[in-house]
């Protein structure tokens, strides 16, 4: 029987879609499990949180063979350092200016990632010559404004981050087409379901923090639906329950973390830009990604910290 191999990063590993199964995550709500059921195929689940193109080549491609019937691949975001960029942009203005981080990500996206992906796609075809291969895109993460109390994304940063997501999505589509692979688009499906939309399919800051800025369970369902369309499989079809083999692998990219507002670097930045560092650090101790929705004390602390953030943006001449 032909097998199905799922390659890629945390979006393919189901992060955000349910409980962690192993160190790579591989939640049961991840789109590869849904695809395997519809295909009636056993699943070699190689995708792993933190995976880069190099990680896929080093630790995941061994799952492919001449008997592989289907391959899906979600990869590229970690290569451009999208998670560190998110951490930088989530930081207040006295701690970080994300301009250089986003510029650096764009340079890698434009100058290095195309060749990395071409090489990877060629190796996938060489190892699984008879397989139907589908590459997935990436969604925009953000609505127009940041509604979260514990992050400090400006409108300008949100616009740039969404533009980066659009650009990597377009690159992946173009190169997958050139390789003769199918493409599963998700950007339009996620429209109206970004972080801070009324019905988000992307987690904002969450616990565990690794789930932050990953699809929710409905978001992973949207991924599955797009992949199934690309594979020309029936979304409602249920074959035999697949045997899922979780391939040992590792991802080298960092996971999301909140900026440390109480540390020395934050205190120094606050003082440098005319803020009271002790007051800032005291307020920061009241921020909590869970209690933020229900604690009046957290809301008050966040409001004052965001006012400080806007003051520093003005003093640095940065856009809001």
* Annotated catalytic residue within 176, 203, 212, 214: 214
* Annotated catalytic residue within 10, 44, 176, 189: 10
Say whether 206 is catalytic: no
Phi-psi region of 44 (alpha: psi -120 to 50; beta: other; left: phi over 0): beta
Chain position carrying tokens 């590459």: 135
SS (H, E, C) the chain: CCEEEEEECCCCCCCCCCCCCECCECCCCCHHHHHHHHHCCEEEECCCCCCCHHHHHHHHHHHCCCCEEEEEEECCCCCCCHHHHHHHHHCCCCCCCCHHHHHHHHHHHHHCHHHHHHHHHHHHHHHCCCCEEEEECCCCCECCCCCCCCCCCCHHHHHHHHHHHHHHHHHHHHHHHHCCCEEECCCCCCCCCCECCCCCCECCCCCCHHHCCCECHHHHHHHHHHHHHHHCCCCCCCCCCCCEEECCCCCCCCCCCCCCCCCHHHHHHHHHCCCCHHHHHHHHCCCCCCHHHCCHHHHHHHHHHHHHHHHHHHHHCCCC
Say whether 10 is catalytic: yes
The residues assigned a catalytic role are: 10, 214
């Amino acid at each position: 029987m032909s097998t199905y191999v799922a390659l890629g990063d945390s979006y393919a590993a189901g992060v955000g879609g349910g409980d962690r199964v192993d160190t790579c995550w591989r939640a049961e709500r991840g789109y590869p499990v849904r695809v395997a059921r519809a295909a009636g195929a056993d699943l070699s689940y190689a995708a792993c949180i933190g995976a880069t193109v190099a990680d896929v080549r080093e630790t995941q491609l061994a799952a492919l063979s001449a008997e592989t019937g289907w391959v899906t691949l979600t990869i590229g975001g970690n290569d451009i350092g999208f998670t560190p960029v998110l951490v930088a942009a989530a930081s207040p203005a006295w701690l970080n200016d994300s301009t250089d981080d986003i510029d650096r990500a764009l340079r890698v996206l434009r100058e290095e990632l195309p060749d990395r992906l071409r090489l990877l796609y060629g190796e996938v075809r060489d190892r699984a010559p008879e397989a139907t291969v589908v590459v997935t895109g990436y969604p925009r993460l953000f609505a127009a404004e940041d509604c979260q109390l514990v992050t400090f994304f400006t409108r300008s940063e949100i616009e740039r981050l969404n533009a980066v997501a659009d650009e990597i999505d377009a690159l992946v589509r173009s190169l997958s087409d050139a390789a003769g692979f199918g493409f599963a688009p998700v950007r339009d499906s996620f429209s109206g379901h970004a972080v801070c939309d009324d019905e988000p399919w992307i987690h904002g800051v969450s616990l565990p923090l690794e789930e932050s800025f990953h699809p929710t369970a409905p978001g992973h369902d949207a991924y599955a639906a797009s992949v199934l369309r690309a594979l020309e499989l029936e979304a409602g079809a249920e074959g035999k329950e697949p045997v899922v083999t979780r391939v040992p692998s590792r991802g080298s990219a960092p996971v999301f973390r909140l900026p440390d507002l109480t540390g020395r670097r934050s205190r120094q930045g606050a003082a440098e830009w005319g803020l009271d560092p002790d007051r800032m650090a005291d307020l920061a101790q009241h921020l909590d990604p869970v209690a933020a929705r229900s604690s009046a004390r957290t809301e008050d602390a966040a409001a004052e910290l965001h006012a400080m953030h806007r003051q520093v943006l003005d003093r640095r001449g940065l856009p809001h």
